Structure 1
Amino acid sequence: MNEPNWDDLRIFLRVCEGGGLTGAAASTGLSPATIGRRVTALEQCIGRTLFERSQAGYRLTADGRTLRDKARAVEAGMRPIADWSRTSGEKPGVRVSAGTWTANFLADHFTALWSPADAFHICFKTTEARLDLAHREAEIGLRNAPPETGNLAVRKLADVAFAPYRAAHLPGDAALDWVAIGRDEALTASARWVLDQADAPVAAWANTPRTLADLVAAGAGRGVLPCFAGDRDRRLVRAGPVIAGMAHAQYMITHGDDRHRPEVRTLIGRIAALIERNADLYRGERFVEAA
């Protein structure tokens, strides 16, 4: 048997987790055809058939299950090296992936999450796109939907409500158009809400949630924000009631293996406690009425 390529083994694991080429393509960014060729190359390298192929997908053979377990052990064993290579000094880093407003909320409550006495650092990765936790692009992810595949643990934290907001310095009866996220950047239902309204006049466009809030605060128009963000911003007041049907849950996602690391487990508990203490804020039940 020839020595297998580790990159091919990682792709093999993604096929196992995704149930086939399409699922693996979603988590790796490679095309299904490329993934298929790499799996075939791995089978030829080790001289064993790893999958039974059918229209229903890829099903592991006995040899495939054995290799999956061994490859998972190797991947887990390499984790400390990756942790060591990215840390500052002797403290390991815990990467937290979150959207703009969740990252802003965590940053505002940073002292509830970390102290100088802790034996780890928090590394924020703020992005509206979802990082691949199954591929260990972060240790903790805060998301608006649970994952569909992968060796991931899921915990619901809160229900998130949304409402329209305007600048606090404007009169309550001011006629305002909307501030909206551009269609190419509108990755969430809340970002697309204004775009989906028939004939909603748009005064200004933004490509990030932070810029949208700044434009609203400057008086450019009304904008839709999660209540836990808009109700904490003293520059803003609500321009209408909570938007019916837009609420979604906030989930914390962690890798099934990484969540047992002491520093990750500690931060999971602190984030969960912080958000659960503020559940009424997330639900839109704690706010200052507009003047």
Structure 2
Amino acid sequence: MKNLNWDDLRIFVRVARGGGLSAAAGELGSSPATIGRRMLALEQALGRPLFVRRQTGYELTGDGRTLLGKALAMEAGARPIEDWLSASGNHPVVRISAGTWIANFLSENFSRIWSPQDPFRIAFKTAEARLDIAHREIEIGVRNQRPEGANLAARPLPDAAYAPFRARNHAPQSEENWVAIAPEDASTASTRWTSVQDGLVIAVWANTPRTLYDLIRSGAGKGVLPCFAGDRDPLLERAGDEITELRHRQWIVMHNDDRHRPEVRAIIERMATLINAHAPLFSGERPMGNG
């Protein structure tokens, strides 16, 4: 019984149910000749005939009926495992690394980059620190500069602009107060900007961009945000002009090998389409109330 495998038994079940080769071939997307050869090989491996072959179809022998009962039991036992694989482990996961504001934007527009019909899942890795694409910590990263590694590929995105924002229709404690990311927690030019300006009164320090955002919305003071985050919030308004030195190009970055995977390629295309469609928002051309 060496060479006996589950695939042959699955084919056997379909031939037995359909009463012949043609029905099984149509169900399996194969040819009747191929199915016939597989059944001959199965009979040889078992050392006993399974079918009486007639012009009208295949009729099971006594051994064939016995094997069918056992094969059906195996099929029923395997179905929970196949369902489990189909529900989770059989779907590849695409990991996306992005800073707080890009991750927030992608989350709000999630239906534009993924649907329940997609044969893959998505895992967001939201962090200001960069995860290592070259060593496959993630599949896709959104970065503020083009990568230099030879094994990395990049796709350009629209510029991101930055400006100071404050709470709309909210009396601030002081027009001079600012909120900022603490220097020891600042990892980007935009989070460091407030702390290195002379003469600013920083009323509150935060250690994460999200806390900074909540403080600005509460009226604690002005703070620097990317325009695509601040300008789409009706509770915020610009508190000054664009900070031009913070403007930068964005990039979708991926490993050269991963970019050819269908699921990674699909997500890259959808992300690029989504962000390019909002290029004026990202470049600071659509402040709230200005059309």
Place the TM-score, normalised by the shorter chain, in its bin: 0.5 to 0.7
Q: What amino acid is aligned across from residue 266 of structure 1 in structure 2?
A: A
SS at match of 1:184: helix
> Does residue 1:214 correspond to 2:214, yes or no?
yes
Tell me what 1:126 maps to. Answer: 126
**Pairing 1:136-175 to 2, within 5 Å after superposition:** 136-170=136-170, 175=175
The alpha-carbon distance between structure 1 residues 137 and 150, as it changes in their structure 2 partners (threshold 3 A), is farther
- Supply the AA of the counterpart residue of 1:143: R
Q: Given that residues 162 and 284 in structure 2 are in contact (C-alpha distance below 8 angstroms), is that contact kept between their aligned partners in structure 1?
A: yes
Aligned 8 A contact 1:165 1:236 in 2: yes
Q: 1:134 touches 1:151 (CA, 8 Å); kept in 2?
A: yes
Match of 2:271 in 1: 271
Cα distance in structure 2, aligned partners of 1:208 and 1:172: 21
* Cα displacement (A) at 1:105: 0.2
Q: Please show how residues 1-291 of structure 1 align to structure 2 within 5 Å.
A: 88-170=88-170, 175-289=175-289
Question: What count of residue pairs does the alignment treat as equivalent?
Answer: 205
Q: Deviations over 1:160-211 (max 9, x none)?
A: 0000000112259961311000101111111111111012110100000000
Contact 1:165-1:216 at 8 Å conserved across structures: yes
2:261 and 2:175 map into 1 onto residues whose CA distance is 53
SS of residue paired to 1:101: helix
Name the SS of the counterpart of 1:88 in structure 2. helix
TM-score by length of 2: 0.68
Q: CA RMSD in A?
A: 1.9
Q: CA distance change for structure 1 residues 126 and 196 in 2, over 3 Å: closer, same or farther?
A: same
Amino acid at match of 2:168: A
Distance, in Å, in 2 between the alignment partners of 1:121 and 1:195 is 39
SS in 2 for 1:179: strand
For structure 2, list consecutive stretches of 5 or more residues without a partner in the other structure. Answer: 1-84
SS in 1 for 2:185: coil
Q: Distance in 1 between matches of 2:269 and 2:263?
A: 10
Supply the distance in 2 between the matched residues of 1:198 and 1:231 (Cα, whole angstroms): 26
Offset of residue 288 of structure 1: 1.5
Q: Which structure 1 segments of 5+ residues have no match?
A: 1-84
Shift of residue 258 of structure 1? 0.4
Give the alignment's TM-score, normalised by structure 1.
0.68
Cα pair 2:182 2:205 within 8 Å, conserved: yes
Runs of 4+ aligned residues of structure 1 deviating over 4 Å after TM superposition are 171-174
CA distance in 1 between partners of 2:176 and 2:108 (Å) = 30
Q: Deviations over 1:68-120 (max 9, x none)?
A: xxxxxxxxxxxxxxxxx9x9332110000000000000000000001111011
Equivalent residue number for residue 36 of structure 2: none
Distance of aligned partners of 1:133 and 1:150 in 2 relative to their CA distance in 1, 3 Å threshold: farther
Q: Give the letter aligned to residue 143 of structure 2.
A: R
* SS across alignment from 2:272: helix
The amino acid across from 1:206 in the alignment is: A
Contact 1:238 1:289 in 2 (8 A): no
1: CA distance, partners of 2:95 / 2:204: 34
Tell me if the contact between 2:136 and 2:255 (Cα under 8 Å) persists in the aligned partners.
yes
User: Aligned residues: percent identity?
Assistant: 56
8 A Cα contact 1:134 1:150, kept in partner: no
Contact 2:173 2:220 in 1 (8 A): no
Tell me the SS of whatever aligns to 2:244. Answer: coil
